[in-house]
């Protein structure tokens, strides 16, 4: 047979195969890039500075199969010294065990409340600042005079998510996890210097007691103002300073599409000897209407520390803190045509018992499209035992 006669057939077959392969690749991709970023101008009265900052937060997504999915988010930013910071926000694999159950392993955002796992990206958060109870602990909060109760928590471990749909408009969510947990924050250089001058040793070995406390050393109750709250390191590490693991979870009820309410719990031992614990309990609400969104969280924390008793022996005392925030957004553009794309935001936050503070924030947002927003926010913070602050920020955020 003349091979030349087969050539057109071979070419046609090759072209058809190529088209089929190309179509297959077009219809099924393994990879997608999403994420968000922002540019911010911030002016602080207390810091007496104003500065521009920028972040780029890409999310890398891979589908290994229908059951397995990989996600990783990095936050790339420039710090105040000009160094480029790259932070791994999460990197985990989901295994979809069933229609309603998902197993997750790796570094993931802990499902505590709603701001941490879902609402903190700047194109989703309706304010240019983090809620007061989440700020001031590094990461997404950055500097603020109000010392938050928790950071946006991300840690390494495993977790299970289970959903119970109750008809098409109601659901119950369960999330439980086990992770490495937290540790004691390494003392800062300036703190070490300061400690040298004080008649006090390690902040976790012997709690700082002021004159007022010494006068009332027979008093049973802990005067939270007189003692120093242990500083904890929430940053995830691939090692653990003890054998204890952090446990936690969240249970939530959603009446869709309007309301989601949840309760969260987190507990871990943070010292090397596993004697000192940290526990956080939270309640959250996300309430959406046609023209408004109301989001809020209440958080209570209990942090153990050692205090030396009259026999110079350490006893464990517990510091209680609590705080809450409520953020209301009025989507004026949905009610008045002339205000298309405009939101008005008001937020109140307070922290109680230790490092007490209150904060009001007022904002106006303009949506350029459904994923790009310019936010202008002014906030006024009153700190009971510290300096107050007034800050103003304009942030241009985008999801992609």
Q: Does 107 bind another protein (CB under 8 A)?
A: no
Q: Give the residue with the Cβ less far from another protein, 121 or 230.
A: 121
361, 127 Cβ separation under 8 angstroms: yes
- Report the alpha-carbon distance of residue 253 to residue 250 in Å, rounded: 10
Q: Which two tokens mark 71?
A: 């996600």
From 367, 378, 392, 398, residue interacting with another protein (rule: CB under 8 A): 367
Among 30, 315, 384, 390, binds another protein (CB under 8 A): 30
Q: Which is nearer to another protein, 114 or 154 (CB)?
A: 114
Residues 332 to 361 in contact with another protein, rule: CB under 8 A: 333-334, 337, 340-341
Kindly state the smallest distance separating residue 100's Cβ from another protein, in Å.
Answer: 5
Should residue 63 be labelled a site residue for another protein when binding is judged by CB under 8 A?
yes
Least distance in Å: CB of 372 to another protein?
8
Q: State the Cα–Cα distance between residues 394 and 375, nearest whole angstrom.
A: 6
Quick note: the x/- pattern for another protein over 77-106, rule CB under 8 A, is -----------------x-x-xxx-x-x--
Residue 369 sits in the site that holds another protein (CB under 8 A): yes
Judged by CB under 8 A, the number of residues near another protein is 61
Least distance (Å) between residue 242 CB and another protein? 29
Report in angstroms the alpha-carbon separations of 34 from 25, 84, 102, 276. 19, 21, 22, 40
Rounded least distance, CB 324 to another protein, Å: 20
- Among 311, 248, 309, 239, smallest CA distance to 277 is for 248
Q: Which of residues 148-167 bind another protein (CB under 8 A)?
A: 161, 163-167
Residue 9 sits in the site that holds another protein (CB under 8 A): no
Min CB(66)–another protein separation in Å = 8
Closer of 267 and 342 to another protein (Cβ):
342
Distance of alpha carbon 395 from alpha carbon 39, whole angstroms = 6
Does 257 bind another protein (CB under 8 A)? Our answer is yes
Among 17, 49, 50, 118, interactor with another protein by CB under 8 A: 118
Least separation in angstroms between CB 241 and another protein: 29
User: How far, in Å, CA of 284 to CA of 261, rounded?
Assistant: 6
Q: What's the min distance (Å) between Cβ of 366 and another protein?
A: 9
Applying CB under 8 A, which residues contact another protein?
Answer: 25-32, 34, 59, 61-63, 69, 71, 94, 96, 98-100, 102, 104, 114, 117-119, 121, 123-124, 161, 163-171, 173, 252, 254, 256-258, 260, 286, 288-290, 333-334, 337, 340-341, 367-371, 399
């Amino acid at each position: 047979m003349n091979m030349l006669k087969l050539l057109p057939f071979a070419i046609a077959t090759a072209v058809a195969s190529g088209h089929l392969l190309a179509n297959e690749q077009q219809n099924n991709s393994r990879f997608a890039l999403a994420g968000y970023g922002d540019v911010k101008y911030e002016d602080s009265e207390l810091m007496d500075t104003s500065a521009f900052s920028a972040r780029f937060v890409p999310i890398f997504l891979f589908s290994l199969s229908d059951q397995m999915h990989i996600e990783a988010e990095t936050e790339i930013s420039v710090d105040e010294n000009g160094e480029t910071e790259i932070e791994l926000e999460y990197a985990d694999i989901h295994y979809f065990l069933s229609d309603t159950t998902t197993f997750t392993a790796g570094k993931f955002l802990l499902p505590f409340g709603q701001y941490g796992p879902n609402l903190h990206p700047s194109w989703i958060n309706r304010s240019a600042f983090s809620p007061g109870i989440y700020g001031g602990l590094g990461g997404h909060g950055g500097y603020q005079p109000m010392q938050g109760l928790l950071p946006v928590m991300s840690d390494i471990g495993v977790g299970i998510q289970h959903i119970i749909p109750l008809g098409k408009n109601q659901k119950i969510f369960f999330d439980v996890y086990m992770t490495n947990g937290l540790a004691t924050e390494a003392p800062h250089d300036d703190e070490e210097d300061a400690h040298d001058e004080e008649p006090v040793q390690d902040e976790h070995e012997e709690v700082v007691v002021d004159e007022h406390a010494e006068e009332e050393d027979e008093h049973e109750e802990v005067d939270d103002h007189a003692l120093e709250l242990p500083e904890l390191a929430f940053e995830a590490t691939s090692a653990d300073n003890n054998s204890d693991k952090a446990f936690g979870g969240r249970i939530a009820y959603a009446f869709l599409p309007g309301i989601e309410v949840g309760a969260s719990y987190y507990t871990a031992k943070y010292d090397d000897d596993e004697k000192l614990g940290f526990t956080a309990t939270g309640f959250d609400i996300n309430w959406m209407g046609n023209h408004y969104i109301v989001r809020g969280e209440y958080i209570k924390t209990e942090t153990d520390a050692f205090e030396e008793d009259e026999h110079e022996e350490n006893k464990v005392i517990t510091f209680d803190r609590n705080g809450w925030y409520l953020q209301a957004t009025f989507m004026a553009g949905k009610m008045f045509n002339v205000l298309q794309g405009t939101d008005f935001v008001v937020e109140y936050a307070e922290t109680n018992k230790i490092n007490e503070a209150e904060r009001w924030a007022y904002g106006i947002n303009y949506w350029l499209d459904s994923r790009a927003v310019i936010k202008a926010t002014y906030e006024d913070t009153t700190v009971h035992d510290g300096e107050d602050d007034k800050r103003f920020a304009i942030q241009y955020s985008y999801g992609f």
